Amino acid sequence: MTDERLTEYFTSRKYRDKLRILLILYFFSSKVEKEEELNAGYNRVFKSEVRIQKIDFLIRYPDYLSFELLLLLENPDFHENRTEIKQIVRNIFNTQEPELRRNDMLRYFFGAYEDIDDIIAFFVSNGFVVYRSSKNVDGRVVDKIYYLTNLAITRIENEILISLEKARWYKDRCQLIKKFFGNLSGSELKIRQYQYEEYRNTPINEYIKGIKNKVKDMFLDTFEEEL
């Protein structure tokens, strides 16, 4: 794919999902260590589609991310982040992200979900991703693994993150989520997200509702200030 065609794919609103998923794979993956994988041109590896979906949810719902950040302050390990988290949440609401940046996801059997098979197929066909999986005894696809190639890393680091204006917000948001939640598995993120009544009680195949007012209440309780 030419540079011009690649830019078209990632700047068109129709293809913003591809940009977001690619940056999730990039920022939340780990370096490949096995020699045979390095020799095959693999650079980074990301495990579990569940983890993609749950990280994607935090990007697409700034109000849920805000509440998750506020909940961290109940843990003494994060007390030193109190001022930082306060400013992050305030900035999210001051810039109206819960309205302007929200990108609704459907409630599926295992929580927030959106089919990304076509996105992954696009990356595979363009040499960005090598995809591996296996099947369990029921024939269901499991153990999904995504390898980012050297080509993908070159394009991301030397072109997309430098030249593509639309990538900057996603970059910052991925780095924020990684800082506070990057050590959590997809299953752990899913458990955290199921604690919300609005999320948990959304009927299957309906869009998950926001929790903006709940965040405002939590912020007031935590800091004795209004958002």
Q: What does the pLDDT average to over 33-44?
A: 90
Q: How many CB atoms lie within 10 A of CB 40?
A: 13
Chain-wide mean pLDDT for the chain? 92
Rg (CA), the chain: 18
Question: What are 214's strand-pairing partners?
Answer: none
Tell me the CATH architecture of domain 1-60+106-166. Answer: Orthogonal Bundle (1.10)
C-alpha span between 33 and 82 (Å, rounded): 36
pLDDT band at 6 (very low <50, low <70, confident <90, very high): low
pLDDT digits (tens, 9 = 90+) for 47-65: 999 999 999 999 999 999 9
The pLDDT value given to residue 3: 57
The pLDDT value given to residue 93: 98
The pLDDT value given to residue 137: 62
The pLDDT value given to residue 142: 65
For residue 1, pLDDT beyond 60: no
Helices (H), the chain: 3-11, 16-27, 35-39, 49-60, 62-72, 82-94, 97-100, 117-125, 150-155, 161-163, 167-181, 186-193, 197-200, 212-223
pLDDT digits (tens, 9 = 90+) for 159-212: 999 998 889 999 999 999 999 999 999 999 999 999 999 999 999 999 999 999
Structure tokens at 66: 């805000």
Q: What does the pLDDT average to over 68-88?
A: 97
How many Cα atoms within 13 Å fall on the side-chain side of residue 112? 31
The pLDDT value given to residue 13: 52
Please state the pTM of the whole predicted model.
0.90
Structure tokens at 49: 């589609």
The pLDDT value given to residue 15: 78
C-alpha span between 190 and 51 (Å, rounded): 8
Structure tokens at 24: 């999730």
Q: How many CB atoms lie within 10 A of CB 217?
A: 14
The pLDDT value given to residue 113: 92
The pLDDT value given to residue 2: 56
